[in-house]
Amino acid sequence: MDDKNELFPRKGNPLLPLNVVDNMFPDPHIKIFINPDTGKENMYVYVGHDEGKDRFIMRDWYVLFSEDLVHWQCRKTLKRKNTYLPEDSVDCWACDVVQSPWDGKYYLYYSHGGESTGVAVSDRPDGPFTDARGKTPILPKGITPTNSYDPDVILPDEEDEYAWIVFGSDWTDHYWAMQLSRSMTEVVFDSARKVHVYPDENTEEELTGELRSDQAEAFRYGNRWYLYWAGRYATSQNRLGPYIFRGNIGADIPHYPDGRAFIDHGSFTEWNGQWYYAVSCGQESWSFRQTWLMYLHVCDDGTLMFDEEIRQYGVGQYYAGWEKIQAEWYMKIDKPYVRKIELFEDGKHDGFAISQETGTHCASYPHVYGMQEDMEMTLFMKGEGGSKITVLVDGTEAGSLALLHELTGFEEVSVRLHNDAGEHEIILRMTGCMTIDWFRFT
C-alpha cells in the first residue's frame, strides 16, 4: 500500500469483500465456524443481495467470511434454483445458518419474501447449499398466525435441550417460535409458541406494532437473553420470553422521513472474548442496504452500546494517529482473566475498559497501521504497585513499564517502544492487578 495512505484512517465499514464492487449485502447473520480449507476459525456473515433502489429485488444468498475481520471473501452460497422459489423470483430474503449439534452439517434457513421459510443443507459453512426438503418449505404460510419468514435459529444449551426457530413480523401477530426436530429439517407438531414482548414489567398489553418489525434475533449474554429487532431490544430470563422492552441501540442513527431507522436487520456473536454486532444500513433507500460490523458493549444494567468511531472505521484495524485507541476495542483477550468492564464517574456511565486482577495475561490489537519508527505509547490506566505492562510488537517485546507505586485513579503512563515503521500487531501483556482505559501512540 502507498505510504501516503497510511497517514489517514482506513474505512472498514461497510464490509467490502475482495474484488467486489457492488457490496449491497444486507440482513446479516454472523457466526463463528471452522474454515475447512484452513482449519482456523472464521467469522461467516450470511446475507442477501439488494439490487433494487425503490423496492426489494433480491435474487440469491451470499456468504462473506474472514479470519481477521479486515480482509473479506465473498461467494454465492445458495442459488434460488436450488430452492422451492420460482426461477424468476426476486424474493430471496433474510437467512440464518447453524451447525447441527446432532449431525455436524450446516443448515441454512431462508425466506421466500414475507411468506414462508425453507431450509438447505451443506457439509461446509460456506456452501454450496442445496434444498433439504425436496423443495418444500419448513415453515409454510399460515403455520402460525404470524408471517413465516426471517428465521433465527437458537441451538440447545444446558438449560434447553431443544433447537428452536423464531420468525415473524409486526404485519400480523409478531414473533413466534417452533421446535426443530433433530433432523433440523422438520418442525415439531404442536410446538408453536408466541414470543411475547411487553413495553414494561407492569403492562399487560404487548408492545405494539409501531415499535416492532421483522427479523427478530435472540441471543444470550451471561444469564440474560436478548431479543433484537431493527435496533430495538428486549430482555428475558428465558430464551422464548416473555421479553421486556429495554431500548434502541440505533436511536442516535439517522432515520428516514417516515420514521424508520437506517438500520434494520442485526445479528450478534462473541469471538475470542469480544462481542460483535452486524447490522444492515440503508443507503439511498430502505431497500438498498449494506452491512456494518462493530464491537458490542454491554453495560452492567444490560444496556447495549456501540462506538460511533468504530461504526465509521470498522473492527480489527487501528490507526496509530488516532487521539485514543480504546482498550475495549481488542480483538482477543485471555478470558476469563482479562475482562471488559464498565466505567462510572459520579455514578454515571463513563465508557469501558479492560481489567485483570492477577497473573500475566494479554489483549491483542492487530493491524495497527501508520506507525512510525520507535514510537512512544501512552496508556491511561490504574493499577497496583509492582504490576507491569509489556508491549509486544508482532510477538517481540518492544518496551515495558513497571508501576513503582499504586495508581488508585487513572493516570497517563508512557512506554518507549523499539519498533519499525509500518503496520503491526500490538499485544499488551499485563502482569498484576490493573485496569486500562485507552492508549495512544506519539
Domains and CATH numbers, the chain: 12-313 (2.115.10.20), 319-441 (2.60.120.260)
Q: What pTM, to 2 d.p., does this model score?
A: 0.96
Residue 5 dihedral angles phi and psi, to the nearest 5°: -70, -20
Strand pairing class (318-319; 360-371): parallel
Q: With contact defined as beta carbons under 8 Å apart, do 217 and 228 qualify?
A: yes
The C-alpha cell at 26 is: 444486507
d(C-alpha 6, C-alpha 368), whole Å: 10
Q: With contact defined as beta carbons under 8 Å apart, do 208 and 124 qualify?
A: no
d(C-alpha 213, C-alpha 283), whole Å: 19
DSSP 159-212: TB-SEEEEEEETTTTEEEEEEEPTTSS-BPTT--EE--EESSTT--SPPPGGG-
Question: In DSSP terms, which residues pair with 112 in a beta bridge?
Answer: 92, 116
Q: Using DSSP, state whether 148 is helix, strand or coil.
A: coil
Per-residue pLDDT of the chain (442 residues; tens, 9 = 90+): 444 446 678 999 999 999 898 889 999 999 999 999 999 999 999 999 999 888 899 999 999 999 999 999 999 999 999 999 999 999 999 999 999 999 999 999 999 999 999 999 999 999 999 999 999 999 999 999 999 999 999 999 999 999 999 999 988 899 999 999 999 999 999 999 999 999 999 999 999 877 888 889 999 999 999 999 989 999 999 999 999 999 999 877 765 555 555 678 999 999 999 999 999 987 767 778 899 999 999 999 999 999 999 999 999 999 999 999 999 999 999 999 999 999 999 999 999 999 999 999 999 999 999 999 999 999 999 999 999 999 999 999 999 999 999 999 999 999 999 999 999 999 999 999 999 999 999 9
User: Considering Cα of 330, then 31, then 247, then 70, what sign does the dihedral take?
Assistant: positive
d(C-alpha 129, C-alpha 421), whole Å: 45
> Tell me, what amino acid is at 37?
D
Residue 328 CA: distances (Å) to CA of 269, 296, 297: 16, 10, 8
For 417, which DSSP code?
-
